[in-house]
A and B are shown apart, each in its own frame.
Chain A
Amino acid sequence: MNAIPKTSPARPRGTPPVVLLKGICKYFPGVVANQDVDLEVWAGEIHALLGENGAGKSTLMNILTGIYTQDAGEIIIDGYAQSFTSPVEAIAAGIGMVHQHFKLVKAFTVAENIHLGWSETPAKISPEKLESRTAELAASLNLAVKPAAQVEDLSTGEQQRVEILRVLARQARVLILDEPTAVLTPAEARELFRALREFVSRGNAVIFISHKLDEVLEISDRISVLRGGRKVTTEETRNCSQKMLAKLMVGHEIVLNDLRGRGAGAVPISADAVLRLDEVRALDDLGNVALNGVSLDIRAGEILGIAGVAGNGQKELSQVLTGMRPICSGNILVNGHDVGAANAGEFAGFGVGHIPEDRLHSGLAPALSVTDNAVIREYGRAPVSLGRWFRPRAAIALARSIAEAAAVSVPDFTMPVRNLSGGNQQRLVARREMRIADKLLVAAYPSRGLDVGAINTMMRYFVELRDAGVGVILISEELEELLNLSDRIAVMFHGEIMGIVETASTGIEQIGMLMGGQRAAAPRLEPASI
């Protein structure tokens, strides 16, 4: 983990911190987003901002970059109090942010994106000049980009580099990164870390927002933990451990533990597959091959993890497994029977539950009531409907019992489901799907966007299902989560299964290699530095 040497932050006497936040408060209707937050960021340090979802990290950074205005408190940059009313003013003061979702124009080239909306861009310039300017900038900042390439052709790692270059080109001295590694492969993340180290070694500062403990420990010099809108503490990274940070984040100690063991009374893994994919090929929305000859067996009572960098066919796989996407060739067998071209409703009828990766876009109708959303799987049968009739009262009763099982308190079942928090929505969806999943549950990125507490609940649900003899497919990008839960892990790369490994006998390095597209059979000689 310590492949990158840390520079100790240099603090010449009498120099004020580059960024000093004092008593920042920000209130939204009904929510305290930030309360009395103090933060000091010194030149030459990478300062990690750690916290659960909703802890106020993003709000705080949005205040610092001028997107929001604080309700109380001061922003002091280089010793001078500042008040930003727009991101333009923040960038003029040397504070730039790279957001989680890139703000690049995909149809433009890298050079065009860098120069877009920049006061130093000459009014008239040829594409060649633009590209050579970009190349110079990139060279001076030590960030390798291809100036003439179109942004949409770049990998996410390269796109991120363009974003960073764009911010740095505007003379940013404080670079804020919001969850930068969420979209990167481990190798790309290492490269990013190297670039960040170099950036701070020139007397700049980085604020690194994350909720991944291991990488925070790896990259940062100091760590500030936010919880419930307040800053809990700031610590030197060398005095921190994962366990301690997790405890600070959630306010109590959580155990990152192995959940693979079965208790007494758990149903053992069956010999036959509940669901089998046999050489399945499927296309994505654009008509490209997304799944290329995928074969999988899922047995009752086991958790099969699907690892891989997002965008390698996992989404399409989850849709094929639940009947939402037609296949071009191959077979899908549920309990040994070929189901052919069944639709999603029929799959649900077979006992296949589905927690989709984008719950707001496909698992829920956000504008409709909690009740309408809760009964979406069981509206077609008694008691919610009798024949052709739909019974609103019975629907509310079912919704109430699902909400109870999910431990979600719903003040009003007629209110739109989008008014619930993300964690509550996900718990509701999970419980709804668990009710119908008596054969298989397909969970795509179930912990995405959730805080540690909600993730733990989610994991507990899966263990509960597994012990009841249901097969669970867990698609995730969190290796830790997969290693903790799954009995076997299948790794996807470019629409293919690179290998299926037994979790018990596999290391994280091996999975990392499969994720990078190397077959298990052909290990590459490389220092294992992941």
Chain B
Amino acid sequence: MLALTAAGIVLAASGAAPLTLASQVIKSTFGSSFGLEDVGLLLTPLILTGLAVSIALKIGAWNIGAEGQFYAGAFAATGIGLFIPGPTVVILPLMFVGGALGGVIWILIPTLAKAYANVSELITTLLLNFVGVLLAYYVATGPWLDPGGHALGTTARVRHEVPEFWGTVHWGFPLAILLTVVVAGLLNFTRWGYEVRIAGSNPQAAKYAGMPFRRHLITVMLLSGAIAGIAGMLEIAGTVHRLQGGISNNFGYLGIMVAVLARGSALGVMAGAALMAVILNSGIILQTQGLNTSTVLAITGLILFFTAIGDELAHYRIVRSEPTA
């Protein structure tokens, strides 16, 4: 409520009628299949980046670099899609693997640095984001620039597409959900998952029980990178079809938010991603209503801010102690 009120104040300040806009947002998000499709399209990458950050947290690492891994995955997938000839049936899985590998390579150095030299992954993964973003800008405006010149600053269209499964929503969406369920299953129903949970929660306890902490750390962080890379690949092959600067739409950073909202549960990742997708989509709708981008960004930020605080507070219970006479 606070979030909505704050958002309303910002809207009123920028000269729009908050209530009309609100009804517009609700109508166009849930009242039409287009709206729901848009949310679905946003959901896919959000679930995956959220999952990537969330699983790294399970082993006690903060993967702030999902953004960079997303770009690396998108970059690898685009490269494969553009320059390797072959039928879609072959190339699409290749792009998938390539995307995952791109993410893995992007997180490899931070992972090894953390595992063997105890270098904080917060800094290394974060810094590599900028490298990833700039790499995408560079190839999209330089070597891989669309020779047809349809648009500025993008590569040519990648022919191979993930088929659509409902409206404009592609099969990447169910795939993201499947991946989430698989990861949740691994964590909760395998010995490996149990060891990861213990090791991530308390490395000393893992040592005490004789679990290979370093090996789990490396595996899980690489898996995290792979998932973020897959998110980038799906964005190319399912939604945008061209590599361009800004393709990630901040999904990597929003993934951190999703993971925090999810509080370590896989179902939570889906719910957190859904919430985020609705908020983002509302932002897009607001833009079509003629609000400027900065206002929309401010509102999105405010809502996220209040949601996070509200979520944290919701985990406290008010306890009153009755003095026993």
Chain A positions within 8 Å of B, measured between CB atoms, are 25, 27-32, 35, 71-72, 323-324, 343-348, 354, 356, 361-368, 372, 375-377, 379-380, 385, 388-392
B190 near A389: Cβ-Cβ < 8 Å: yes
A362 near B208: Cβ-Cβ < 8 Å: yes
Q: How far is the CA of A375 from the CA of B198 in the complex (A)?
A: 11
> Contacts A345-B211, A389-B191, A392-B189 hold; do A367 and B201 have CB atoms under 8 A apart?
yes
Q: How far is the CA of A32 from the CA of B191 in the complex (A)?
A: 42
> Contacts A27-B323, A71-B323, A362-B204 hold; do A346 and B188 have CB atoms under 8 A apart?
no
Chain B positions within 8 Å of A, measured between CB atoms, are 188-195, 197-198, 201-202, 204-205, 207-211, 319, 321, 323-324
Smallest CB separation, B280 vs chain A (Å): 31
B209 near A348: Cβ-Cβ < 8 Å: yes
Q: Which residues of B contact A388 (CB under 8 A)?
A: 190-192
Write the chain B residue with the least CB distance to A366.
B202
Q: Which residues of A contact B194 (CB under 8 A)?
A: 372, 375, 379, 385, 390
B321 near A361: Cβ-Cβ < 8 Å: no
Write the chain A residue with the least CB distance to B324.
A32
**Of A362, A363, A389, which contacts B189 at CB under 8 A?**
A389
A29 near B201: Cβ-Cβ < 8 Å: no
Q: Which residues of A contact B189 (CB under 8 A)?
A: 389-392
Q: Which residues of B contact A324 (CB under 8 A)?
A: 207-208
Q: Which residues of A contact B197 (CB under 8 A)?
A: 365, 368, 372
Q: Which residues of A contact B205 (CB under 8 A)?
A: 362-365, 376
A364 near B210: Cβ-Cβ < 8 Å: no
A29 near B321: Cβ-Cβ < 8 Å: yes
Smallest CB separation, A386 vs chain B (Å): 9
Smallest CB separation, B307 vs chain A (Å): 23
B209 near A344: Cβ-Cβ < 8 Å: yes
Q: How far is the CA of A364 from the CA of B200 in the complex (A)?
A: 12
Q: How far is the CA of A389 from the CA of B208 in the complex (A)?
A: 22
A345 near B204: Cβ-Cβ < 8 Å: no
Smallest CB separation, B312 vs chain A (Å): 16
* Sample (16) of A-B pairs whose CB atoms are under 8 Å apart: A25-B323, A28-B321, A32-B321, A323-B210, A324-B208, A344-B208, A344-B209, A362-B208, A363-B208, A365-B198, A366-B201, A380-B191, A385-B191, A385-B194, A388-B191, A390-B191
Q: How far is the CA of A380 from the CA of B212 in the complex (A)?
A: 13
Q: How many pairs of A and B residues are in contact by the CB < 8 Å rule?
A: 86
Q: How far is the CA of A46 from the CA of B201 in the complex (A)?
A: 45
Smallest CB separation, B237 vs chain A (Å): 32
**Of A72, A345, A379, which contacts B191 at CB under 8 A?**
A379
Q: Which residues of A contact B211 (CB under 8 A)?
A: 345
Q: How far is the CA of A11 from the CA of B202 in the complex (A)?
A: 55
Q: Which residues of A contact B204 (CB under 8 A)?
A: 361-362
Write the chain A residue with the least CB distance to B187.
A390
Smallest CB separation, B271 vs chain A (Å): 19
* 20 additional A-B residue pairs with CB within 8 Å, beyond A354-B208, A366-B202: A35-B324, A72-B323, A324-B207, A343-B210, A344-B210, A345-B210, A348-B209, A356-B208, A362-B204, A364-B205, A365-B202, A368-B197, A368-B202, A372-B194, A372-B197, A375-B194, A376-B198, A379-B195, A385-B191, A390-B193
Q: Which residues of A contact B195 (CB under 8 A)?
A: 379
Q: How far is the CA of A451 from the CA of B307 in the complex (A)?
A: 43
Q: Which residues of A contact B198 (CB under 8 A)?
A: 365, 368, 372, 376
Interface centre among A31, A364, A365 (most CB of B within 10 A): A365
> Contacts A388-B190, A390-B189, A392-B188 hold; do A364 and B207 have CB atoms under 8 A apart?
no
Write the chain A residue with the least CB distance to B322.
A27
Q: How far is the CA of A261 from the CA of B194 in the complex (A)?
A: 42
Q: How far is the CA of A343 from the CA of B208 in the complex (A)?
A: 9
Interface centre among B192, B202, B208, B319 (most CB of A within 10 A): B208
Q: Which residues of A contact B209 (CB under 8 A)?
A: 344-345, 348, 376-377
Interface centre among B195, B321, B323, B324 (most CB of A within 10 A): B321
Q: Which residues of B contact A392 (CB under 8 A)?
A: 188-189
Write the chain B residue with the least CB distance to A395.
B194
Q: How far is the CA of A497 from the CA of B110 in the complex (A)?
A: 44
